[in-house]
Amino acid sequence: MSPAANVLTRAALPGDASSPARQADAAAAPAGQALLQVDGLTLEYATHDRVVCATHRVGFAVHRAERFVLLGASGCGKSSLLKAVAGFLKPREGEIRLDGEAVREPGPDRIVVFQEFDQLPPWKTVLGNVMFPLLASKRADRSDARERALDALHKVGLADFADAYPHTLSGGMKQRVAIARALAMQPKVLLMDEPFAALDALTRRRMQEELLSLWDEVRFTLLFVTHSIEEALVVGDRILVLSPRPGRVRAELNAHDFGLHSLGSPAFQAQARRIHGLLFDDDKQGISA
Amino acid sequence: MTLASAPLRPEFERELEPLVDAVPERPLPLAQRLWQQASLRKAVILLALALLWEAAARFADNELLLPTFTQTAKAFVEGIASGELIDKARISMALLLQGYLLGIACAFALTALAVSTQIGRDLLSTLTSMFNPLPAIALLPLALLWFGLGQASLIFVLVHSVLWPLALATYAGFQAVPETLRMAGRNYGLRGLRYVLQILVPSALPAILSGLRIGWAFAWRTLIAAELFFGASSGRGGLGWYIFQNRNELYTDKVFAGLASVILIGLVVESLGFDTLERVTIRRWGVQR
């Protein structure tokens, strides 16, 4: 597919058709339409002597085949939001609904790609790792799982490494395996928690490119957490900007016009500066308040 | 004179030809390759020890106190040939395996309970701190009182000697499983016993294997000591009884042959059993060097 066609198809998403309406108020988006609906989510975590509020009444809606990015400085609760959607964190108040059903616990319909490389069990080969969730969740029998796993590995370009063990792979390859594992499961929503943050800059650029071309091919729904404005603009087509400590919704912006091809273009720079302003002005207000 | 500045040099670009005279691999010298064989290095150590023993025994020149290596080897070969040593070793091994396997089962049940419930954790830590320091052999008189003179008493003390160190090691291994891996497992929808067996056990295998080694050594010691203690009354004694009997009759070479059997069995189990197990699991997975 040519880059021009990419832009066209991305612009013609069903999720984007309603974007002007949702820009006005994310929480007011029609619930029936969104795949993932998060309403008034307050998250807390306990340290040994206090309870810290990670997010305060955050709401957003993710539509099918959307690439939704949670962006914020460290400590804004964006990873906590993702963990709550994954079911690892019980919300203090608010609700998360996936396809109309409330999220209560972790499950194979929301596969997470973590930042850490040790998310791949070291005792399984690359192929075994991709097959593992399919077999563990009893989604497929052994031969079916094998077929789907090989197909997913082929998509991320690791078919030749099917029999290798994770410790022999580079960081970028490990993340590719994690992405292949998620793709093979065909989850309702793919959750990525800063998946490329531990990679070097060149590999990161390459992985962003691959993720976008995979999305062009498969059209999965993506919820992506990052602290990089540039990555948010490149990877996402919709960006939720969170204020720090506790995380609150500062803005929801569109980014479907931007990709790796538009890096450095005036429009890209302008949007990046706007987000920069949103993130850091907030900080000043927080200090003066 | 102004500040020094580097000269402006011309830029250049180069077309890279494919490498034809690729650097050939160079094999290591034969001596170096041989020395890399762990078995060969260990054989050299054993040989040196045997020579030292032979020299010391010839110098002492008292076969009642210290028979030479050759005398011991002769007694050992005779014991094997007459079937006496093999028979004794078989009795000891059968008993040992029963106690060992039962101990492993108990340790697994206890640690599985400890990872799933708070009260199980408290139970494990209380019981191990109470019973781990208690020498198994000190329980033997009590065991004889409860279970009578026979196999049951021996198995009781064997289980005691295996259970606590193995439970401690396994629990420590479970505690050290990375959080990301735990979340990945729950993300696949694993829970309960399947979660323990498919995530915790393989991930904690380095610790479990070291616990199994320690348990094995403790069990051996306990068994030989227990047989020395009351082997006579059980009718059919094992290796410990063989050693005890021959000491009474001043067959010192046979005492040494009995001890050598204990050592040899230990070496074989280490190298064929545990080392092989390690090689095909944790070394292959790259979680241990």
Identify the pLDDT of residue B173.
92
More confidently predicted of B114 and A100: B114
B183 with A108: Cβ contact below 8 A? no
Q: CB under 8 Å to B211, separation ≥6 — which residues?
A: B107, B165, B166, B167, B168, B169, B170, B173
Confidence of residue A284 (pLDDT cuts 50, 70, 90): low
CA distance B156 to B167: 16
**DSSP single-letter state for residue B144:** H
Confidence of residue A38 (pLDDT cuts 50, 70, 90): confident
Which residues in chain B are contacts of A122 at CB distance < 8 A?
A: 203, 285-287
Mutate to test the interface with B, among A85, A103, A105, A118 (most CBs of B within 10 A): A118
Whether B176 and chain A come into contact, CB under 8 Å, resolves to: no
Identify the pLDDT of residue B159.
93
* Residue carrying structure tokens 């059968």: B94
- Residue spans of the domains in chain B: they are 66-283
Whether A170 and chain B come into contact, CB under 8 Å, resolves to: no
CA distance B49 to B118: 51
Helices marked H in chain B: 30-35, 38-60, 69-82, 84-116, 118-131, 140-147, 151-175, 179-187, 192-195, 201-203, 205-230, 239-248, 252-268, 275-278
Q: How does pLDDT run across B198-237, given as a tens digit for each residue?
A: 999 999 999 999 999 999 999 988 888 888 877 645 557 7
Confidence of residue A15 (pLDDT cuts 50, 70, 90): very low
Confidence of residue B2 (pLDDT cuts 50, 70, 90): low
Identify the pLDDT of residue B107.
93
Distances (CA, A) of B28 to A62, B41, B275, B289: 60, 17, 26, 22
ipTM for the predicted complex: 0.77
Strand partners, A190: A111, A222
More confidently predicted of B116 and A285: B116
Identify the pLDDT of residue A32.
52
A122 with B190: Cβ contact below 8 A? no
Does position A286 have pLDDT exceeding 80, yes or no? no
Q: How does pLDDT run across A137-177, given as a tens digit for each residue?
A: 888 888 888 888 888 888 888 888 888 898 888 888 888 89
Q: How does pLDDT run across A52-72, given as a tens digit for each residue?
A: 888 888 888 888 888 899 988
CA distance A249 to A70: 10
A123 with B188: Cβ contact below 8 A? no
Which residues in chain B are contacts of A119 at CB distance < 8 A?
A: 180-181, 183-184
B203 with A111: Cβ contact below 8 A? no
Q: How does pLDDT run across A191-200, given as a tens digit for each residue?
A: 999 888 888 8
A281: closest CA of chain B, how far (Å): 34
Q: Report whether A214 contacts A183 (CB < 8 A).
A: yes
Which residues in chain B are contacts of A116 at CB distance < 8 A?
A: 178, 180
Compute the average pLDDT of residues B261-272: 87
Q: Report whether B128 contacts B122 (CB < 8 A).
A: no
What value does the mean pLDDT of chain A take? 80
For A114, name the nearest residue in chain B, comparing CA atoms only: B180
B179: closest CA of chain A, how far (Å): 9
Does position A243 have pLDDT exceeding 90, yes or no? no
CATH architecture of the domain formed by B66-283 = Orthogonal Bundle (1.10)
A167 with B189: Cβ contact below 8 A? no
Q: Report whether A41 contacts A57 (CB < 8 A).
A: yes
Q: Which two tokens stand for residue B201?
A: 């056990």
More confidently predicted of A19 and B15: B15
A123 with B205: Cβ contact below 8 A? yes
Q: Which domains are present in chain A?
A: 3-109+189-288 (3.40.50.300), 120-186 (no CATH)
Q: How does pLDDT run across B98-153, given as a tens digit for each residue?
A: 999 999 999 999 998 888 888 999 999 999 989 988 888 888 888 888 888 778 88
Whether B188 and chain A come into contact, CB under 8 Å, resolves to: yes
Tell me which residues of chain A, numbers 199 to 218, contact chain B at a CB-CB cutoff of 8 Å: none
Bridge-based pairing of strands A189-193 and A93-98 is: unpaired
Tell me which residues of chain B, numbers 258 to 287, contact chain A at a CB-CB cutoff of 8 Å: 281, 284-287
